[in-house]
Chain A
């Protein structure tokens, strides 16, 4: 086992991102889809902080803080929308959201 290099972080980040992406594409529960998206964003944060450290620049961390902020704003809106939806139809399954299919 050598020391941790940038490559390790990037691999971790890529894996998390792909896991998140697959989650979005395969899951049916809206909450899980939403959490998968959050996972994607956090995967990005891992890579950003690793880059910041590796490049010795503060921009990576600033970038990551902005991503976290935006993710929080998204969560607020997303959960609000999901709440309204579940009140209406008592389910968080995306397959039940299909009025618009023609």
Chain B
């Protein structure tokens, strides 16, 4: 049997290569740089992500879609859009980390190289057009995050977070791989495009192996995306990991994994729409309800944001459910709303975490909502105002990106006929207001417990993150046409 090596098209995977090579350079440079100069690595990592964004823009303007490496990689605008969002999230997270690591005395270690490796996994995930590439990408992403979650070596909670994340991550990986193996067994192919062709009009769609495979893959995704009832690990992992890592985790992972889910179900398995949409329908309802209800009782801001991110994932899922490729108009609206929501979520969630990072003190992370956030508006009016905007946006109040995201998602759901999802969505958003607004109430109406101390100095990189997130959150809420048009322009999941 002769195996012809597939042609190399390195240009197609330029963003991935840039980030991966950048990670290796950073890893090597780490050996030669004196500890005091380590922050420079952060700026190098930032530069790497910016160059990668440039590469994405270059590819966007070029000939797309572009299949590479024997169709295992599909470089299309959908993937590029997601990659850009991921890279923006990564760039902001890196800026967030530079001073945070120093302040918290976490040591730089392999922090930035690992972050870049993780990002390279996310990029690969966005372009994966084959079950094998898909799970390799997912593992690259996860392995880096396991270590990052435990990167506060001196802290027991961080260790615990890493172990939990690792065990649950590997466990869910088992489901994913088993599911993909069954799908492969049923259809004889691992390629998304080939899968779609094989399933079209075949009698395979009620093959028990295939359906079992689909179910297992969805369970795996549910774990990775922290969809209820597979979300139990999230609050522990999110609150235990260093805040900057949590911020990155909550944004980048979700964006890339949602993109992979969307590509798998609509690019490879549209023939099984009835099956996966029903399963995701149920998951979306449970996730929206459980995530938002559980967040109400939280007093620790990181745990609250963890549950909030579960709820937010539920809203994205609503639009995924509505992605019915047999109705192009509906599908376009649904998928563009997924992309828009992920973009909006990146900015508002990172912004919220940036405020948490800004408040942290070396001796005390300042995470208690009642104690540390009360009266913040008086001590640090700008930080409080920024946090208020992010909370209102996460809560879906108009004039913010979060509202536009929800509007588009619910619009897509109703258009596809899933009005129960939209109703549950709006009702849970109302519930969610309770805990998002409680933060605002604490900040504006509470009595400060730290009134005597000097306000925390906000380092320049962090201020940049806050400003970018703030501007984007408001801008996308008032004039969403530009990102929305970009999202609509990205709706060509490769299907040649």
Given a CB threshold of 8 Å, the question of whether A touches B is answered with: yes
Query: Which of the residues B147, B156, B184 comes within 8 Å of A48, measured between beta carbons?
Result: B184
Instruction: Name 9 interchain pairs, CB-CB below 8 A, sorted by A.
Output: A34-B170, A37-B174, A41-B177, A59-B132, A63-B131, A81-B163, A82-B163, A85-B159, A100-B235
Contact count band on B: 35 or more
The contact of B240 among A57, A62, A67, A100, by CB within 8 Å, is A100
Q: Of A62, A73, A85, A89, which one neighbours B132 at CB under 8 angstroms?
A: A62
- Which residues of chain A are near B303, meaning CB under 8 Å? 102
How far apart are the CA atoms of A59 and B430 in the complex, in Å? 49
Residues in B neighbouring A43, C-beta threshold 8 A: 178
- In the assembled complex, which residues on chain A have CB atoms less than 8 Å from the CB atom of B153? 84
How many interface residues does A have (CB within 8 Å)? 45
* CB-CB under 8 A for A77 and B147, given A33-B167, A63-B132, A100-B236: yes
Nearest A residue to B303 via CB reads: A102
Known contacts A66-B135, A67-B177; can you find 14 more A-B pairs with CB under 8 A? A34-B167, A40-B171, A40-B174, A41-B174, A44-B177, A54-B185, A63-B132, A66-B132, A78-B146, A85-B159, A85-B163, A97-B160, A99-B160, A100-B160
> In the complex, A83→B67 CA distance in Å?
43
Residues on A with C-beta less than 8 A from B188 are: 55, 57
Contact of B139 among A34, A62, A74 (CB under 8 A): A74
One digit per residue, 1 when the CB lies within 8 angstroms of any chain B CB and 0 when it does not, for chain A 15-35 equals: 001001100100000100110
**Chain A CB within 8 A of B482 CB:** no
Residues of A within 8 A of B (CB): 10, 17, 20-21, 24, 30, 33-34, 37, 40-41, 43-44, 47-48, 50-51, 54-55, 57-60, 62-63, 66-67, 70, 73-74, 77-78, 80-82, 84-85, 88-89, 97-102
Chain A residues whose C-beta falls within 8 Å of the C-beta of B171 in the assembled complex: 21, 24, 37, 40
> In the complex, A98→B164 CA distance in Å?
10
* Bound-complex Cα distance A11 to B161 (A): 35
Closest to A46 in B: B181
Q: In the complex, A80→B329 CA distance in Å?
A: 50
| Partner of A51 from B173, B177, B185, B298 at Cβ < 8 Å | B185
B20 within 8 A of A: no
CA distance A42 to B162 in the complex (A): 24
Please give me the residue from chain A that is nearest to B176 by CB atom: A44
CB neighbours (8 Å) of B190 from chain A are 59, 63
CB distance from A57 to the nearest CB of B (A): 6
Contact status of A47 and B156, CB under 8 A, knowing A70-B136, A82-B163, A100-B240: no
Do A77 and B166 contact each other (CB < 8 Å), given the known contacts A51-B185, A63-B190, A84-B159? Answer: yes
Q: In whole Å, how far is A75's beta carbon from the nearest beta carbon of chain B?
A: 9
- Among B139, B162, B236, B240, which residue has its beta carbon within 8 angstroms of that of A73? B139
A80 proximity list for chain B (CB < 8 A): 147
Within the assembled complex, what's the spacing in Å between the Cα atoms of A76 and B293?
38
Q: Is B18 an interface residue (CB 8 A)?
A: no
| Chain B residues with CB under 8 A of A17 | 174, 178
Q: What separation, in Å, do the CA atoms of A67 and B436 have in the docked complex? A: 42
Residues of A within 8 A of B164 (CB): 97, 100
Compute how far the CA of A37 lies from the CA of B178 in the bound complex, rounded to whole angstroms.
12
CB of B22 within 8 Å of the partner chain: no
